[in-house]
Each structure stands twice: as C-alpha cells, then as structure tokens.
A and B are shown apart, each in its own frame.
Chain A
Amino acid sequence: MKAAVIVFPASNCDRDIQVALRQSMGEEPIMVWHREGTLPKVDLIVLPGGFSYGDYLRAGAMAAHSPIMREVVARAGRGVPVLGVCNGFQILAEAGLLPGVLMRNATLKFVCRDVHLKVEAANSIFTGGYRPQQVLRIPIAHADGNYFADDRTLDELEDEGRIAFRYCEPDGRISSEANPNGAQRNIAGIFNKDRNVLGLMPHPERAADPALGNTDGRALFDHLVASLGP
C-alpha cells in the first residue's frame, strides 16, 4: 500500500500522520509538497492538521487552491480514499470535497483536550475498524471546528448516514455539554457521498501510540491498511 501526506506551509501534524501511517503500514508514506502539480499513484491521500497559510482569510481557504489540490480533487473523484484531519478537514470543506464549513469555535477559544466521540457510521474504509456506536477518546486542538451547514445539508448527511463521528459524553450520550466548539448536531466528522472522503476535527494520529497513553485512533489507520492492502 502507498500513501501520500500533503504538506502545506504551516502544516504541523504532517509528521504525526507520517509516524502513525508508518506504524500501521510498515512502510514510509510519501510526503508531497503542496506546490507539486503531480502526485504519484497512491492508495490513500492524507491532508494533515496545522495552520496552512496562517489561517488567512478563512481556515483552509488558501490551501484549498494550492496546485496539488487539483490532483487531490481529481483522485477523490476517481474513488481514491482521502482523509483530512483538523486543518485537513477545513481544506476539504473549502475545496468543495465535503459540504459545509468549519467556523470559529462558538466559545472563541482554542480548545486543546481529549473529547469523546461516538462512531456514528462504522461502514466505511476509515471507520470499519470500530463498532457502530463505539465511544472513543481522541484529542482535539483547534480554534475553527464549529461545523456549519444549512438544515437541508445536515438532514441529507443524517439520512445518508454520512455523519462519521459526533462529540458525546463518555457514556455515548449526545449533549450540548459534550460539544466543544458549537458544531451543528455535535458533528465531528463527515463523509462525502461516495464515502471515500472523510474529514474530522479530532486527531486520531495523536492517539495511535501506547507511549502517548491512548490508542483509540489506531484502528482508523490499521483498518485503512487492512482494506487497501499491506
């Protein structure tokens, strides 16, 4: 299996993703600078977290128009799995690969802590390593994670089972108290229509190594590798 991690100016989780992928794949992912116009043939593309272009204009807005994104959008359209974490999710939304937008947190504060997530849809290449309704503990670290879309889009996401993760209480209850950023309907991660693109605000790559005290994120990478071949 071959994976590419796209590196934007001010990406800062690219190495974390690299380490998590290496651990699950047993092989180095390719690191691709955003100015590249071409991408080698890969089975998985990851847009990492960070603060691409200093979050100028809107988080992810500039990176969404980086030269490499034309290729990422084309590959996604051909069914290549694309994972966007945190800033990667913001970029996917700005690029139009996922609906909606990530707005400033309702509290106006940068939030950096563990949250509980409910796996709402385990029927995807990303989430197949989890049980439906399983509760995970995964860290978040963002100022713009407040997911917004109009009601019609939100209903569509619900009806099509495209909400991947929701912020929840440790026992799985969905409550406004468990919502760290004001995201509509507690949404933490969503799929595109074909379920080959996932964007999520929490950082599974920061919870994939026992040395960090939490491995709840590891199944996401392991399942990708199991599905896409060794």
Chain B
Amino acid sequence: MMRARVHITLKHGVLDPQGKAIANALAGLGFAGVDDVRQGKYIELKLEETDRERARAKVDAMCQKLLANTVIENYRIDLEG
C-alpha cells in the first residue's frame, strides 16, 4: 500500500481572487505582515501499487487527465510507504 499526496497550486501569473480574499480576511483579523496568499488543493490517494516508479507514473497520469487543469495549475506528487 502506498499513499500519494497531490498538491495542486495555481500557476504563477494566474490571478487568485480567493487567495486575495483570504489575505484580506487575515488582515481584518489583525494578522500583519502577510504579503501574499495563494490557495490550492490537496488530494490524498491510497494506492494498491507498491512500486514507486509505477505509482508516480500512475498518479502523474491522473493529474494530467483529471486532478489538475494544466492550463492554470501546477501539481506536486509526494509518495509515502
């Protein structure tokens, strides 16, 4: 059993109005010194695959096909187990 953690983030230069709203809310709560907020997605997958290389290739294909939209998003895959 292997666990894959996928972090999906907006590409550089893609506006993130939700991140901006979070930054404003933080400022409103009195948290000073936050220059910028970018929000993203975190997806955790439990895989039957035990081979790391094959697991990575599989999750990469999932990201390309569904989990991320590579027009606007980058993704990072961390494997564990």
Contact = CB atoms under 8 A, between A and B. Distances in A.
Contacts of A104: 17-18
Contact of B66 (A61, A105, A150): A61
Contact of A108 (B21, B69, B71): B21
Interface residues of B, number: 11
Interface residues of A, number: 19
A104 B10 CA distance: 12
B17 A94 contact: no
A163 to B, nearest CB: 17
Interface string A143-155: 0000011100000
A101 B71 contact: yes
> Interface on chain B toward A: helix, strand, loop, or mixed SS?
helix
Contacts of A101: 69, 71-72
A94 B18 contact: no
Given A148-B14, A182-B15, A94 B69 contact: yes
A100 B15 CA distance: 14
Interface string B56-70: 000000000111010
A42 interface: no
Interface of A: 57-58, 61-62, 65, 94, 99-101, 103-108, 148-150, 182
Interface of B: 14-15, 17-18, 21, 65-67, 69, 71-72
